[in-house]
Each structure stands twice: as C-alpha cells, then as structure tokens.
C-alpha cells in the first residue's frame, strides 16, 4: 500500500460556539468535512463571517462535503451546541 502521509492530513475538531478556522494546512485538491453522526446539533461552515443565523452552510449530523480550496485555513466553522465535532482531511 502506498504511503499517503505526504498527501493526506486528517484531523478531528471539537467545534466551538464561536467562529474558529481550520488549521493552516496547504491543500493540493481541497478539504473534506464530515460532521460526526453523534452530534446533537448543526455545524455551520463558510468564510470568516460564518454564524448560526444565516451566514454559512449547514452540516447536519453525519453530513459530508468536499470543498475545492488551496488551504484549510480559509474555512471557518461554528457550532450550535457544545461538544459537536467535525472530522476533516486535506488532500
């Protein structure tokens, strides 16, 4: 099996109830976000102005989306409830 460690970076983040950005990781293709299916509420992602009242895209528990960006740090997130998680990988 080929070593993909130079091409794939995976992380899990407990998303706070105030906006946060993902880690500064350069992407060759983009970033895949997946909300934990054990989450109790929604997580919103978008630009630096993301909020839970309409600015951002909603991830329901178990939802997944791929974003074609050149760095993970351009994605901001906010959670409706405490302790909800998003896993993401950067390729």
Whether the per-residue pLDDT at 2 is higher than 80: the answer is no
Residues 6+ apart with CB under 8 A from 4: none
% the chain with pLDDT above 90: 82
Each residue's pLDDT tens digit, 25-52: 999 999 999 999 999 999 999 999 999 8
Residue 6 CB neighbours (<10 A): 7
Q: What is the DSSP string of 20-89?
A: EE----B-SS-EEEEE-TT-SS-EEEESTT--TTSSSEEE-TT-EEEE--SBGGG-EEEESSTT-EEEEE
- For residue 18, the 8-state DSSP code is S
pTM for the structure as a whole:
0.88
């Amino acid at each position: 099996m080929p070593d993909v460690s130079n091409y794939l970076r995976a992380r899990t983040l407990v998303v706070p109830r105030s906006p946060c950005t993902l880690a500064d990781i350069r992407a060759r293709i983009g970033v895949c976000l997946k909300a934990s299916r054990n989450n109790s509420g929604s997580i919103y992602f978008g630009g630096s102005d993301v909020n839970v009242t309409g600015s951002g895209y909603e991830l329901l528990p178990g939802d997944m989306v791929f974003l074609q960006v050149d760095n993970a740090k351009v994605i901001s997130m906010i959670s409706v409830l405490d302790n909800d998680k998003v896993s993401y990988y950067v390729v």
